[in-house]
Structure 1
Amino acid sequence: MHQPSLSVSSRVRLAFVRPEARELYAGALQPATRLSAGLDLRACLDAPEVRIAPGERVCVPTGISVQPECAGLAGFLYSRSGLGAREGLTVAQGVGLIDPDYTGEILVMLLNTSGEERVLRHGERMAQLVFQPVVRPDWDVVERLEDTERGSGGFGHTGR
């Protein structure tokens, strides 16, 4: 049976910026399975839990900061599929971005999209951190873009 290749690896420095974070992440600094893409981020709260009303946003600390050794990598915060689908707790802005030169604590803005109050407990897995390569373009300012088959057709343009 063909084994899928593992993704490219790059070293990322990780610092615990809250004393209790070291224990929260003990043994959990690798993705859940050999081929999982993301690291589960945990709620590093000052209280045992936080209540999130329907439609409310709450800023949740993770207790960690990161610094990729490769400048071409950035961290992206994604919702955990189970928490989002079952409980309605999602990353508020859709996807969060951790720039390679940001060294502060990772904070996750969660949004309760459900119609009921939700409870997030200290230590609970609440989002995923995935490192992805980024491309910084060399801008070529022109008077007009080249014609394409699609052109400027936007939403619903293709009729599919």
Structure 2
Amino acid sequence: MKSRWLLLIPSFLSVFLFALSAGARQLVFWRFEANQNRLEFTTDVGVQPRAQLIANPTRVVIDLPGISLEGPTDSQKVGGTVKEIRVGQFDNRTTRIVIELAPGYTLDPQQVKFRGLTPNQWTVQLPRPERVGLVPGQPLVADNSNSFENPSASQNLLLKLKENP
């Protein structure tokens, strides 16, 4: 009788783990179209992305709060002015997408356009990266805030430029 119960434990555990994973809010798709300088991503539930521009190296960082990444960190080498796109789990409640520019390039944060096609489907249109001549100790670009189009939720996203120490 005792051995029967021991045989049932793995079955109960697998059902419990399946139920937990079925309720996870996930990033289900992402793609960077290099020829259009555009990122597209889809989650299985609505999300309000947060974004910032960080220097040294210059990269656009997009956080998806409440979203999990199933599987390992993913990346796509792009080439040209956009070096690489990385997608990973920033913390246990936030998936992070990083668009890293090639060394010596920046972009105008005022020209980055977020568009919510639906609450769970987004595009991020990047302007053409520009070559910069950095002066040591000076910020790459002054701090800016920017409103982005979101037809599904009239909320603004904040895009900030931060210097890395």
Question: Shared topology, TM-score over 0.5?
Answer: no
TM-score of the superposed pair, with normalisation by structure 2: 0.31
Decide which structure has greater strand share.
2
TM-score of the superposed pair, with normalisation by structure 1: 0.32
Decide which structure has greater helix share.
2
Q: Higher relative CO (CA 8 A, sep ≥ 6), structure 1 or 2?
A: 1
